[in-house]
Every structure is written in C-alpha cells, then in structure tokens.
Amino acid sequence: MALLVLVRHGESTANLANVFTGWLNVALSPKGEEEARAAAEKLRGFHFDAAYSSDLLRAERTLDLIVARPAWATIPVHHVWALRERMYGDLQGLNKAETALKYGQAQIDIWRRSYAVAPPGGESLQQTQERVVKFYEAEIVPQLRAGRNILIVAHGNTLRALRMYLEQLTPKQVESLEIVTGGICVYQFDAQLKIQELRTL
C-alpha cells in the first residue's frame, strides 16, 4: 500500500506580517524554519520514493529542511509550478486586517474561503484545484499505483484543493478546512487508491 504525505510549508515572513501572499516569493520566518524541522522530526522513520514542492521559496525551503536527514539524502526532489499557492491577484502584498476594513470582513471571507469566487485579478479555489488535480493525476497517481510513497510540500490553498479532491469534500465543507503551517496529513491507499487510513501529525 502506498503513502501520500502532504505538508504545508512553515510560517513565512508574509504569514508573520499578516499579508495576502499568493505568488509572492517570500522566505520562511525563523518560526517557519523550526516548523519545517519539527515536521521532519514527526516524519522520522517514513520511507519516501520521491518528494515534490511548489517552486516558491517557502515551500522549497521547507522541503529542503525536511529531506536534510541522511536517510532521505537520495530522494529525488522536484519543484513544480502546478503546486503554487492560489494566485491572490490584486490582494497580494496587502495587509489582511487593513483590507478587511476596506472591503468588509464578509467579503474577505468569501475571497479567502469560498470554492468558486476569485479575489480581484486572482484565482478561485476551484481554478487552483483544476491545476493541482491535473498535476496529481498525471504525475502522482501512477507512482501511487506502483506502490511508491510520495511527499508533497505545498501551500494552504493548494493543499485545501487537493484534500477536497481526495476526501470528496463539498464546497461548503472545504470552507472550514484549515491547514496550519507545518501541518502534516498522511494518506494510506489500497491498490485501487481508496483511502484506507487518514491521519494528521
């Protein structure tokens, strides 16, 4: 049976500053670096055949810190565009609290949490899911079918979109799905890629 492990990157400098990040290429904060190392410790003893992250620095760095263990030194590592965070468009770089004062918290919640509504100039979660699932089906599924264990390090909305697909969540259910920085989700599949076990670490 194959394993799929999903990890959200550690806290970034933009998370710390409470701004909409999207495709801004920001580094991990000191806390984020520690969260990445803590994720590596929680995954001690796992075997991975390949590892993937988005091509944004905060995810790349988190993955680099996780696979720094000697036991994982030979894992093939891939940084891919399709796993990027949702594009936040005109909101990128804006302070979330100040933006809520301008547009109202209700509108911000719709832009941040809804499935089908995109922020101005950005992507909806639905659009993010389309590119993430396309990558997952083309690149990850064949490896899982072959019994390979895969590690993916990505972003809050990228992982919300993928988890919605894997767990068959409704648009309403995904609104309340929260994934903390450094959070880990482990799926164990059978030969037909049906989920046999789902746990968070």
Looking at the domain that runs over 3-200, which CATH code has it been given?
3.40.50.1240
- The Cα 93–Cα 55 span in angstroms is 19
For this structure, is 155 an active site residue?
A: no
Both tokens of 166, joined, read 């894997």
Q: Is 9 a catalytic residue?
A: yes
Using DSSP bridges, classify how beta strands 150-154 and 50-54 pair: parallel, antiparallel or unpaired: parallel
Catalytic-role residue among 9, 11, 60, 123: 9
Looking at residue 172, its pLDDT comes to 95
Q: What is the value of pTM for the model shown?
A: 0.96
**3-class state of residue 181 by DSSP:** coil
Give the model's pLDDT for residue 70. Answer: 87
Rg of the chain over all Cα atoms, to the nearest angstrom: 16
How high is the pLDDT of residue 155?
98
Strand extents, DSSP E, the chain: 3-8, 50-54, 77-80, 150-154, 184-189, 195-200
Which among 11, 35, 60, 85 is annotated as catalytic?
Answer: 85
User: Tens-digit pLDDT profile for the chain (201 aa)?
Assistant: 899 999 999 999 999 999 999 999 999 999 999 999 999 999 999 999 999 999 999 999 999 999 998 889 899 999 999 999 999 999 999 999 999 999 999 999 999 999 999 999 999 999 999 999 999 999 999 999 999 999 999 999 999 999 999 999 999 999 999 999 999 999 999 989 999 999 999
Beta bridge partners of residue 4, listed in sequence order? 150, 187
